[in-house]
Amino acid sequence: MEKKLLLRLILILLVGIILISSTSQAKSNILNSETIDQFQEIDTGGFWIDKIAWQEFQPEVKKLTKIEVKIMSGGGIQPPINLYIEQPLGTIIKSKQLQSSEISTSPNWITFDIEDIKLNIGESYYIKLSFSPGGSYYWYGSTNNPYKNGISNRGETWDWCFRTIVDKSVIKLPFKSNINLLYYILNVIDNK
């Protein structure tokens, strides 16, 4: 009887160690799971933004963490630039402001690190850029409708350069199987 109890304690300890080690492994996987979901990277030119510009997109992954847009600044003293995620157009879900000093005066992919949000897969959302009067920011994009799941403020044939960065982590904690294994072993011991 005492032997059985000791065996149970040892097994619980062992499974505990397995659980802790697998959890820390899963955590490190989660950290590296950011990836691009929706994107339009073709650049055939661009336009100076006339106060506001927007691009529609439809997510295929729920958790949105960042937006990247290919833009440049007109240089000099400028108001900050705001990026909004809207649904529908005009209703802000999230926003992120960058100072003009953070935007270079040559074409670059700029990351707007928004607070993470959960989107509904397949629904239309809008990436909007805007700034106060006096700003001059240029957004690159392409003609011929390269992004099929959305339009832009320039119509159906123009899509701005953008990327949606998402967190695709699937929590693969083997808790369940380990706990089932523990129950199984304990049952075997009990029934001996």
Would you tell me which residues interact with Ca ion (CB under 5 A)? 145, 147, 159
**Comparison of 37 and 65: residue with beta carbon closer to Ca ion:** 37
The residue among 53 and 182 lying less far from Ca ion, judged by its C-beta, is: 53
- Neighbouring CB atoms inside 10 A of 31's CB total 9
**Choice between 28 and 144, CB closer to Ca ion:** 144
Q: How far is the CB of 159 from Ca ion (least distance, A)?
A: 4
> 135 or 150, CB closer to Ca ion?
150
Tokens matching residue 87: 């649904």
Instruction: Check residue 34 and report its DSSP letter.
Output: E
- DSSP string for residues in 89-118: TT-EEEEEEE-GGGS-SS-EEEEE-PPPEE
A 10 A CB-CB count for 55 gives: 26
Residue placing its CB nearer to Ca ion in the complex, 154 or 168: 154
Rounded to a whole number of angstroms, the minimum distance from the CB of residue 21 to Ca ion is 47
CB of 150 to Ca ion, least distance (A): 5
User: Which residue, 37 or 159, is less far from Ca ion as judged by CB?
Assistant: 159
CB of 105 to Ca ion, least distance (A): 28
CA gyration radius for the chain? 25
Give the Å distances, CA to CA, from 173 to 15, 35, 40, 178, 183: 13, 20, 34, 9, 17
Supply the minimum distance, in Å, between the C-beta of residue 54 and Ca ion. 12
Which helix (H) or strand (E) segment holds residue 3: the answer is: helix 2-31
How far apart (Å, rounded) are the C-alpha atoms in residues 147 and 160? 9
Minimum distance from residue 49 beta carbon to Ca ion (Å): 18
